[in-house]
Structure 1
Amino acid sequence: MEALSNVVGQINSIVWGPLMLVLILGVGLFLQVGLKFMPVLRLGSGFALLWQGRKGSGEGQISPFNALMTALSATIGTGNIAGVATAVFLGGPGALFWMWMTALVGMATKYAEAVCAVHYRERDELGNYVGGPMYYIKNGLGKQWYFLAPLFAGFGAIAGFGIGNTVQANSVAEVMNTSFGLPPLVTGIILMALTAAVILGGITRIAAVAGKLVPAMAVLYVVAGLLVLIINIDGLGAALGLVFTHAFTPSAAEGGFAGAAVWLAIRFGVARGVFSNEAGLGSAPIAHAAAETKGPVTQGLVAMLGTFIDTIIVCSITGLAIISSGVWTSGESGAALTSLAFETSLPGVGNYVIALALSVFAFTTILGWSFYGEKCVEFFLGVQSLMPFRLLWCVAIPLGATADLGFIWLLADTLNALMAIPNLIALIMLSPVVFQLTRAYFASGGMSEEPGGNAAE
């Protein structure tokens, strides 16, 4: 097992190394330039469409709003609380700046993913729309590129059980045990029961729960975070100064902080940013493909908000709370560092806010990734695999809550990065389609758009 861990560790260092980070940022920047920075300039239009999209207005299973909430349910998770803290701990305050840069180019990537997902989606045997990288590779690229589709689906199906299931359950079990003394097995069983009650009803029930739970918890966390920032308002200006300064100059060792080179700020800022918002990994478009939307561009404008909300809003709250409260030099890391920042500013309350937020965010991640995983499996085995997959997904939760997941985390993290490779290749090759659909949409004033889903029909 040790030899296998070493091999996977070496692969992980490559797939999350400089080449992958440059690839993810490069594709995002290429798409952003090709779209003439439309995702940034049309941010207001995206929010307007999101508000209008609380009820569906096209073909699909779930509303555009709930499609985004389902995607956010899988992205707003441990990465927003523990991941940001780890990035600051390892890369210094400058890591937050590079998370922002990742998000700004990632908005274009997420937009293109959703456009392709809706444009190339197809119906399964139950009449439901299915889509995502495996389908836009299958329906959008030639036969010589088809091998990328099962590659993505295979990586996604396996990675989901790690990063979207057992790792999340383990995080909840740990924080509930630390904060409330709840045994991990009890937490695992409760999580399994709650998950089963939702996912056995399919995407409509997942989306309905996500549509209520995600906004409520995100607002609660942001409000608590803003309180922390208000309490530390005197240090907020200095915190922002540290973010911008250490994005380009090394961070000196201070207190429990070991210091960090600029490269570490870039590396951990980009890696944790991608881990948090998943732009480029190809997971979110699987949810957006099921949306009742007027067309690909309309859903793309909604989808790109996921990266903005996840990183520019939620991750920024976490990062600035840690830096402005001064605890970033304490030597703590991960969720414990975020908890310390909130508890220092909100004594007797802050650690419970983090425990609750981490638990709910991790639970919604389990829900969102269950849909991603089942669609990856359905690509291989058809709709008859859906119910067995959902049952297996539920059974894995208490196992994850009680197990030592060192190797599982490493494997899932590696496969998660490998998902990005076929997806990014497809996005580059399909970028002319994305640009053409976008130009046509805005040329018509947003009034003329095919609903998508005709690629394979």
Structure 2
Amino acid sequence: MDRMEQILKSISSFLWGAPVLILLAAVGLLFGCKTKFFQFRKFGYILKNTAGEMFKKGGGAKGKEGTLTPLQAVSSALAGCVGTANIAGVATAMVVGGPGAVFWMWVVALLGMLTKCVEVTLGQYYRVKGEDGVYYGGPMYYIERGMGRKWKPLAVIFSVTIILGGLGTAAFAQPYTMSTAVQNSLGIPAWITTVAAAVICGVVLLGGVKSIGGFCEKLTPAMCLIYVVGVLGVIIINLEHVPAAFAAIFRYAFAPMPAVGGLAGSTVALALRQGAARGTFSNEAGCGSSPITHATAITDHPFKEGMYGCFEVFVDTLVVCTMTALGILCAGPEIWQSGLEAEALTMAAFSTAYGSTVGKLLVTIPLALFAFSTMVGWEINYESAFFYLFPKGKQSKVFKYAIRILWLVPGFLALGKTPQVIWTIVDIVSGFWCIPNAIALLALSGVFMRIYRDYESKYISKTKPVSQPLEYVGKD
């Protein structure tokens, strides 16, 4: 391990030790207590008003203000968070932190469902309509408009970390994992896949936010379904290993795992850190990225869009990530203890059910789609952060094309790097952008609760007329 890799690991260990974990847990627990854990009490209601509404014409929204339909917004946000972390990232977490990392991934997701609901709600509430007709929102807007102009430096810091984080995660890590998987599975050189992805992504980005939303609306549901069906086959064929898989998850969540097979062993702290970091990177709850995309959505109440945040975390982590983990563990100890890492471990698990050739394809194709969709969907966040820092850029075609071209560059820089280094970099940048967003969520907890109570009285308890407008409590 060279000096730079050691430094990166030290930074990652510090960030995903006490600082970020305590902060995100505090946010999740605070809003859980304030809403009496709405995500658990009203889980059926959430599904009914998200999954049950978004495929209807207009997404079930009565309001006319917004840029993307709810389906386009949730598809773009899911495209941004359902990425290679769901396949390669989960495998890496289990290699480094052991099966117990999956348990802590679940804990982060259960708390994160409401955290994401809060940030999406605030993103909708404080959004603004740009001169180009597109709606913009997210932490940089609710920091400045909700907390006051004196907090603008924090909004600027967040915007800078989103730009750097987007370039490091979606534009750097995703193309790397995609091109490496295609090379290992199909023998196509990594640089060819990277070039092809950059060209196709560039074409989609030319049309702006609406083009991205339309593209993700078609791709995201299909790619999730393909992968879930594929991994279900692995679990069903290895059904006898399911009890042992769950036993390993719960056992090593609270006890150190000894060195076995090709694994070096792990501590409880390492399992917790790996599960929390990988889960947070995957579902992005508390990171402040999804509110930027959801701020563009057409809806008639901020909290209604906020519930899509709960739905996203559920799909991303509690469904897709869990399926990956169970698929790997159900393949047997000879697979998950083999020492393989990233997508190679997932491919080995699929091969036990479908054979080597088909198994590799059933991982490579969804992996490539997940990675590509993240490249496309996450660009909305990156571009919005640029426009917050440089408002006049919205009116400049040259500026727009320049930042979109810049988005395509990091994929080429990732060629030749090792998986551990890639995911360590991802942990660092995602840790940095969580901090200013979490501060804002805590500061604006009172605003969120007023929005939540307004929605509850209009749509759940129905004690207030729906036609009564939501009082604006933001600061100019």
> When the two structures are superposed, what TM-score results if normalisation uses the length of structure 2?
0.90
Tell me whether 1:257 sits opposite 2:267 in the alignment. no
The answer for the alignment partner of 1:157 in structure 2 is 163
Structure 2 CA distance for aligned equivalents of residues 148 and 99 of structure 1 = 28
Residue type of the partner of 1:342? F
Tell me whether 1:30 sits opposite 2:26 in the alignment. no
Tell me whether 1:88 sits opposite 2:85 in the alignment. no
Deviation digits for residues 126-170 of structure 1, max 9, x if unmatched?
121100000010110023322110000001111211211122111
Residue type of the partner of 1:423? N
Contact 1:118/1:452, CA 8 A, preserved across alignment: no
Closer, same or farther: CA 321–408 of 1 in aligned 2, 3 Å: closer
Contact 1:160/1:412, CA 8 A, preserved across alignment: no
Q: 2:452 aligns with which of 406, 429, 438?
A: 438
Tell me whether 1:112 sits opposite 2:118 in the alignment. yes
Deviation digits for residues 382-426 of structure 1, max 9, x if unmatched?
2133332112223444x2464548877655542221111110000
Tell me whether 1:417 sits opposite 2:431 in the alignment. yes
The answer for the alignment partner of 2:463 in structure 1 is none
Contact 2:114/2:309, CA 8 A, preserved across alignment: no
Contact 1:173/1:401, CA 8 A, preserved across alignment: no
The answer for the alignment partner of 1:338 in structure 2 is 346
Tell me whether 1:169 sits opposite 2:175 in the alignment. yes
Tell me whether 1:272 sits opposite 2:285 in the alignment. no
Structure 2 CA distance for aligned equivalents of residues 306 and 367 of structure 1 = 17
Structure 1 CA distance for aligned equivalents of residues 90 and 422 of structure 2 = 21
Closer, same or farther: CA 452–378 of 1 in aligned 2, 3 Å: farther
Deviation digits for residues 158-198 of structure 1, max 9, x if unmatched?
12112111221111111111111112222122111210121
Say what the alpha-carbon RMSD is for the aligned residues.
Answer: 2.2
Tell me whether 1:42 sits opposite 2:42 in the alignment. yes
Residue type of the partner of 1:355? T
The alignment partner of 1:235 has SS state of: helix
Structure 1 unaligned spans of 5+: none
The answer for the alignment partner of 2:388 in structure 1 is 379
Tell me whether 1:246 sits opposite 2:252 in the alignment. yes
Q: What's the offset of the Cα at 1:371?
A: 1.0
Q: What's the offset of the Cα at 1:7?
A: 5.3
Residue type of the partner of 1:156? I
Q: What's the offset of the Cα at 1:453?
A: 9.1
Structure 1 CA distance for aligned equivalents of residues 390 and 8 of structure 2 = 27
Contact 2:105/2:317, CA 8 A, preserved across alignment: yes
Contact 1:156/1:373, CA 8 A, preserved across alignment: yes
Tell me whether 1:66 sits opposite 2:66 in the alignment. no
Contact 1:31/1:109, CA 8 A, preserved across alignment: yes
Q: 1:363 aligns with which of 362, 372, 381?
A: 372
**The 10-residue stretch of structure 1 (74-83 or 84-93) with the greater mean CA deviation from structure 2:** 84-93
* Aligned positions of 1:396-415 closer than 5 A: 396-397=410-411, 399-400=412-413, 402=415, 404=417, 410-415=424-429
Structure 1 CA distance for aligned equivalents of residues 278 and 164 of structure 2 = 21
Residue type of the partner of 2:46? G
Deviation digits for residues 266-316 of structure 1, max 9, x if unmatched?
111111111111111111110000000111110011221110100000000
Q: What's the offset of the Cα at 1:330?
A: 1.2
Residue type of the partner of 1:358? L
The answer for the alignment partner of 1:18 in structure 2 is 18
Structure 2 CA distance for aligned equivalents of residues 81 and 136 of structure 1 = 33
Contact 2:454/2:470, CA 8 A, preserved across alignment: no
The answer for the alignment partner of 1:128 in structure 2 is 134
Structure 2 unaligned spans of 5+: 461-465
Closer, same or farther: CA 62–218 of 1 in aligned 2, 3 Å: same
Contact 1:133/1:282, CA 8 A, preserved across alignment: yes
Q: What's the offset of the Cα at 1:14?
A: 2.1
Residue type of the partner of 2:25? L
Residue type of the partner of 1:46? I
Closer, same or farther: CA 449–85 of 1 in aligned 2, 3 Å: farther
Structure 1 CA distance for aligned equivalents of residues 267 and 6 of structure 2 = 26
Structure 2 CA distance for aligned equivalents of residues 6 and 298 of structure 1 = 44
Tell me whether 1:308 sits opposite 2:314 in the alignment. yes
Structure 2 CA distance for aligned equivalents of residues 370 and 453 of structure 1 = 30
Residue type of the partner of 1:345? A
Structure 2 CA distance for aligned equivalents of residues 3 and 262 of structure 1 = 26
Residue type of the partner of 1:292? I
Structure 2 CA distance for aligned equivalents of residues 3 and 392 of structure 1 = 28
Residue type of the partner of 1:241? A
Q: What's the offset of the Cα at 1:4?
A: 6.7
Structure 1 CA distance for aligned equivalents of residues 162 and 468 of structure 2 = 30
Deviation digits for residues 350-394 of structure 1, max 9, x if unmatched?
111111111110000101121111011111112133332112223
Closer, same or farther: CA 24–364 of 1 in aligned 2, 3 Å: same
The answer for the alignment partner of 1:329 in structure 2 is 337
Closer, same or farther: CA 453–359 of 1 in aligned 2, 3 Å: farther
The alignment partner of 1:349 has SS state of: helix
Q: 1:390 aligns with which of 397, 404, 414?
A: 404
Identity of aligned residues (%): 38
Structure 1 CA distance for aligned equivalents of residues 423 and 472 of structure 2 = 35
Residue type of the partner of 1:45? Y
**The 10-residue stretch of structure 1 (369-378 or 400-409) with the greater mean CA deviation from structure 2:** 400-409
> When the two structures are superposed, what TM-score results if normalisation uses the length of structure 1?
0.94
Aligned residues: 455
The alignment partner of 2:49 has SS state of: helix
Contact 2:24/2:438, CA 8 A, preserved across alignment: yes
Structure 1 CA distance for aligned equivalents of residues 338 and 378 of structure 2 = 34
